[in-house]
Amino acid sequence: MGFTIFPKSAKAKAAAQRAQELALEPVERSAPEAKPRGENTVVGSYAPQGSEIEVSEAGDLGPSLENAALMFAHGNPAAATAALVHAIDTPERKQALVWMCLFDLYARSGDRASFDDLALKFVVQFERSAPAWDEMTTRLSPPPKAASPAVGKARALLRGELNDPTLPSITVLLETSKQKNSPMQRMDVDINELDSVDDTCGVLVAGALAAIRRRGVFVSFRGLDAAINRLSSPLQPMVRERKGQWYLVLELLQWSGYHDKFEDRAVDFAVTFEISPPSWESISIQQRSILADAAKNETSAEASLLADRIVWSGELKGPSDPCLKSIAPDAVTTNPVMIDMKNVQRVDFICGGAVSNAFNRLMANAIDVRVIGASPIIQALMQLTGAPAALFGKA
């Protein structure tokens, strides 16, 4: 299958050809004229060029950095290193990512002497501390054995306008509600961005949550109060519309513990539809405790995201690497989606393009993406194939 992963194909070919030439030819380096910055500062034959730091967005990488990313993706770190050594004697030296990628490659090759020499030049160029050797080599250690996931912990992300009863998130709720004598006692339901439900989806979701509640399952809601207010807003007494949404609001009020609000809404429901509303059923003390903890933890959403992050490791290759299944729009269970690439050693060009396309599809569906832990050279490759620089953060 084909991917539209890099619009400047001619430039990519030229970059790859140039990187191959750099791997075969010695790089002649001449010391540029030192420019005054308070005082002239020179380390060996190196002089800084400008004091500002340029931040590259996707598509704005310099030619040497593009060459390096391509060469590393194709499994040629020596050529990638040569391209970056050349870059720091050109105006590309203003881009901090060029330096970070070279630090990354030196750490991967175990070249401590070149790393330390580059660190001195980095301090002169940017007037700030260089990365530490230990910091850059930590990611090269074998990844720790992944912890076993909690037994049976299910997650459902309900967002936007729900009008498809076959959505995976609704299926998860329905299957959980039907389980009997199951070890599953915990579930996470994210309704922070749920805007509306049609009658079919509203009845299905409300019924599933009611069955889950009666079974004593511990549910952590994200955005419960905000969702109740948002879903309640268009519901008007004596206006026979959105019956499914009425049912869902009444069920969410059961979970929230707002008995008075529930009774008021139940009366409005009975008057509007001329049928008996659901009865109030208190949740257990343990369930209420879980909900209270979830409400407190909403102020530390980043910690929750870290717990639910998607972890990749090893080498990612080809257009159908298993990692792609974990970021399919129907597979994600959080918004934003956090991808941990700390233990990824290499991404080839084809897989990088497929991953970037998948990120862009998620964002087109209003699902934010955050990438943590990606090494600088892998970040450069991902930007080259279309991933925005803003997605990447530190581990």
Instruction: Compute, in degrees rounded to 10, the torsion defined by CA atoms 1, 349, 327, 319.
Output: 30
Q: Mind listing the pLDDT tens digit for each residue in 22-70?
A: 444 443 444 444 444 444 444 554 555 544 434 444 447 899 999 999 9
Quick check: 311 pLDDT over 80? yes
188 in Cβ contact with 220 (< 8 Å): yes
DSSP state of 390: G
Is 295 found in the same domain as 161? yes
Q: Mind listing the pLDDT tens digit for each residue in 135-185?
A: 787 666 555 444 333 334 567 788 888 998 988 788 888 888 887 765 557
Is 338 found in the same domain as 318? yes
Is 171 found in the same domain as 271? yes
* Residues across the chain: 395
Is 381 found in the same domain as 320? yes
| CATH (domain of 378) | 3.30.750.24
Is 322 found in the same domain as 218? no
Which stretches does DSSP call E strand in 205-277?
218-222
Q: Record the pTM.
A: 0.58
Burial class (CB in 10 A: 0-12, 13-18, 19+), 391: buried
Taking the CB of residue 209, how many other CB atoms lie within 10 A of it? 25
In angstroms, the Cα distances linking 395 to 54, 373, 374 are 22, 4, 8
Is 233 found in the same domain as 256? yes
Transcribe 301-324 into DSSP letters. Answer: HHHHHHHT-EEEEEEE-STT-GGG
Is 316 found in the same domain as 219? no
Is 238 found in the same domain as 312? no
Is 179 found in the same domain as 58? no
Place of tokens 């030296």: 93
Transcribe 120-173 into DSSP letters. Answer: HHHHHHHSSPPPPHHHHHGGGSPPPPPPPPPTT-EEEEEEEEE--TT-HHHHHH
Note down the domain range covering 67.
9-140
Is 282 found in the same domain as 201? yes
DSSP state of 367: -
Is 290 found in the same domain as 316? no
Give the end of a domain, one of 300, 315, 337.
300
Say if 145 falls within a structural domain.
Answer: no
Mean pLDDT calculated for residue range 372-391? 92
Say if 160 falls within a structural domain.
Answer: yes
The token pair that represents 117 in the structure block: 């020499």
Say if 366 falls within a structural domain.
Answer: yes
Say if 65 falls within a structural domain.
Answer: yes
Give the end of a domain, one of 118, 140, 162.
140
Q: Mind listing the pLDDT tens digit for each residue in 181-235?
A: 655 577 888 898 899 999 999 999 999 999 999 888 888 888 889 999 999 999 9
Residue 12 identity? A
Is 117 found in the same domain as 131? yes
Say if 213 falls within a structural domain.
Answer: yes
Say if 2 falls within a structural domain.
Answer: no
Residue 377 identity? I
Place of tokens 């301090």: 123
In angstroms, the Cα distances linking 338 to 19, 30, 327, 334 are 33, 43, 10, 8
Q: How many domains does the chain have?
A: 3
Say if 385 falls within a structural domain.
Answer: yes
Helix, strand or coil for residue 392?
A: strand
Predicted pLDDT of residue 150:
37
Give the end of a domain, one of 259, 285, 300.
300
Say if 89 falls within a structural domain.
Answer: yes
